[in-house]
A and B are shown apart, each in its own frame.
Chain A
Amino acid sequence: MREELHDRVRVFLADHDPATTERTQFLRARYDAGLAWVHFPIGLGGLGLDQALQPEVDRLFREAGAPDNRPGANTIGLGMAGPTILAYGTDAQKDRFLRPLWTAEEIWCQLFSEPGAGSDLANVATRAVRDGDEWVVNGQKVWTSGAHNARFAILVARTDPGLPKHHGLTYFLCDMTDPGVDVRPLRQITGEAEFNEVFLTDVRIPDDQRLGEVGEGWKVANATLNNERVSIGKAADRESGMVGVVARTWRERPELRTPELHDRLLRLWVDAEVARLTGARLRQKLSLGQPGPEGSAMKLSFARIAQQLSGLELELLGEEGLRYSDWTLVRPANVDFTGRDAGYRYLRAKGNSIEGGTSEILRNIVAERVLGLPGEHRVDKDIPWKESAK
């Protein structure tokens, strides 16, 4: 299988020289050849192969100097919208959305969280009311990464306030160029505005951009979130991510070393290495078709380790750690977790235990869905959403 795949990539690269083929043309052709995400079905950018083969394909293209599809700028699209559309979309939706999503011609964002629906995501108040072949959407979303660059959004809205909160939700694919969509930057502790508030005023969404059945939004959203947690917990080579940054500083700046910091660094190095192996083992499990909520446990480790490492890095830098590069408001196209300077890394890493599910919620998920412990007491589970305390 592996040999055959190598051959396919070789043939493709011979037909489409990365040096002379225009970027978008190259990416479209790669998609059409089934070499975009090899585990997707034939005709939808894939070859129906084992997902474990993907990194190898990416490596071959990288080594050939091929343009990438800007994965950093489209993490929501590639990691969440794509798999969810594949799982729940109609044939027409898959044909319409998956190719430009993968080529980054269309960037995606996620309109899930609201001021009253963060960890309690099923509490969304954004309303979608049916009007003929369209839905009319009104509400406010928040913490929306990349909304200022997004062409489309995955959106969860309430379509029946008379049902209990998990049952009255529906999932939509929202056009961000609709005149009723207002994206406003939300400045965060790093000084930049990676997030946005998104105000939705009489936004009109055609019914054929509904994903899944009316009232099935919670189920579809959970598929999205499971994908998110697995992708966030992704580990790669040894010393990739935050541990690599701190280890490099340690090696390059011997004058900063102290015994106390040395012990802490080694403990975190071990934790990061073990988390990397745990991620590798989880992906081996997933490739055998044993998916589950275990990705939540990975994300818990990832967040803790990144926060402790970035905190240690500031202390290691000492006087230098007291300074900060730039407080100017910028709206970055993608999140650079390990880029910029140590102060940025320290502040940005604080979001790791909040975004994609707070660590507290993830612990509940692990405890309830993996370990089978009793669920939290819910006073609003079985009553109509409109009658629950807000």
Chain B
Amino acid sequence: MSDLDLLHSETEEDLRASVRALLGDHCDPVAVTRMYDGDRFAVDGLWKALTDLGLPGLLVPEERGGQGASAREAAVVLEELGRTVAPVPFLTSAVIATTVLLESDSDLLAAVAGGERTAVLLVPWSIAATDDLPRIRSDDGVLTGTVTSVAGALEADLLLVPVASGDGLAVHAVDASDAGVTPLVSLDMTRQLADVVLDGAVGTLVLDDAAHAVRRAIDAGAALLASEQVGIARWCLETTLAHVKVRKQFGRPIGGFQAIKHRLADLYTGVESATAAARYAAATLAEGDPDATIATSTAQAFNADLAVLAAEEALQLHAGIGMTWEHPVHLYLKRAKADQIALGRSGQHRARLATLIGLPG
């Protein structure tokens, strides 16, 4: 495990540059802010541009219609998406739903990888891999039930539905148009949630005996969410640094005051640490390393809180400006706080670690 590369390769940096350039053209923070005013913003245009880059199929092998890249590359994409709080369903469709589909031999995978369809695993966004999985009732393939607070459901046209199957769990595919999808006013409108009601929708079996695959998908999401959190935190640090270098009070830049320098030195230390944690989680996932579960929960236990701290520090050090609707820092605070609850709170990940590492309570 000590041999895993925790740095970014040249290929990964090239990918970063492409994604960053594209986001620079298509993901203006002013437009993102407008999502809170009921304007759905041109999400489709942005997602289309990312699709042209092949991102929906990043984790899918070439022979199944994807790019054949690994979790390491997906992590870099998420760092960039975090930096811009981009309102796209990459994590929900290209990572979580795709991880489920990779376990099946369904043709739907190719459609999702190619960007013709966008999928979502129908679970609450706050779910941890250790939680009970939601189960929709199936009556001969006719599905009934409700799943609340689903991220990525609004963007998806394909729902992957965990369905009770005897004592176990199966996953059925349902066309989103056959479900009732109700948008929710969400703390993080850049990843807006929805309640999904199935009332007689007809499902197609995608995967039987699917409990393990679904938990693994949730874990893959959690592992890579750590990289999104790095992106958020790094943006907060860099933006705040730029601000304190020019903002003057008492006749000098506020970044020259030791009280502020020390807070930013601590934040830098935290961001560097979060980067190492996220890299290790991505590397173990990419390698199928047995340490992946510990790495994932370690990264979530650390990065979820660090991203929130970074956004809170950014807001405080921007002071009044940070409280305004015009300054984008609030977008990062809302995303960071929602991410802290997403896919298991840090406390849930610590509780899981206690078992994994043999430190019981």
Contact = CB atoms under 8 A, between A and B. Distances in A.
Is the A/B pair a real complex?
yes
Given A266-B354, A284-B6, A371 B359 contact: no
Contact of A270 (B2, B269, B275, B350): B350
Interface string B137-168: 00000000000000000000000000000000
Interface string B1-22: 0100111000000000000000
Contacts, number: 121
Contacts of A366: 265, 268-269
A273 B298 contact: yes
Interface residues of B, number: 42
Contacts of B83: none
A219 to B, nearest CB: 23
A280 B265 contact: no
A297 B268 contact: yes
B258 A364 contact: yes
Interface string B339-352: 00000000100110
Nearest to A280: B6
A294 B272 contact: yes
Interface in B257-275: 258, 260-262, 264-266, 268-269, 272-275
B252 interface: yes
Contact of A259 (B258, B350, B361): B361
A269 B358 CA distance: 12
Interface string A245-277: 001001100100101001101110111011101
B87 to A, nearest CB: 29
A251 B256 CA distance: 47
Contacts of A301: 269, 273
A149 interface: no
A269 B255 contact: no
Task: Tell me the dominant secondary structure on chain A's binding face.
Answer: helix
B314 interface: no
B269 A373 contact: no
Given A278-B272, A281-B7, A301-B273, A371 B361 contact: no
B264 A373 contact: yes
Interface in B311-361: 347, 350-351, 353-354, 357-361
B241 A247 contact: no
B100 to A, nearest CB: 28
A274 B302 contact: yes
A363 B354 contact: no
B276 A374 contact: no
Contact of A247 (B260, B262, B359): B359
Given A278-B272, A366-B265, A374-B252, 11 more contacts: A237-B2, A250-B359, A263-B347, A270-B301, A281-B279, A284-B6, A288-B7, A301-B273, A370-B265, A373-B264, A374-B253
Interface of B: 2, 5-7, 241, 244-245, 252-253, 255-256, 258, 260-262, 264-266, 268-269, 272-277, 279-280, 298-299, 301-302, 347, 350-351, 353-354, 357-361
Interface of A: 237, 247, 250-251, 254, 257, 259, 262-263, 265-267, 269-271, 273-275, 277-278, 280-281, 284-285, 288, 294, 297, 300-301, 360, 362-364, 366-368, 370-376
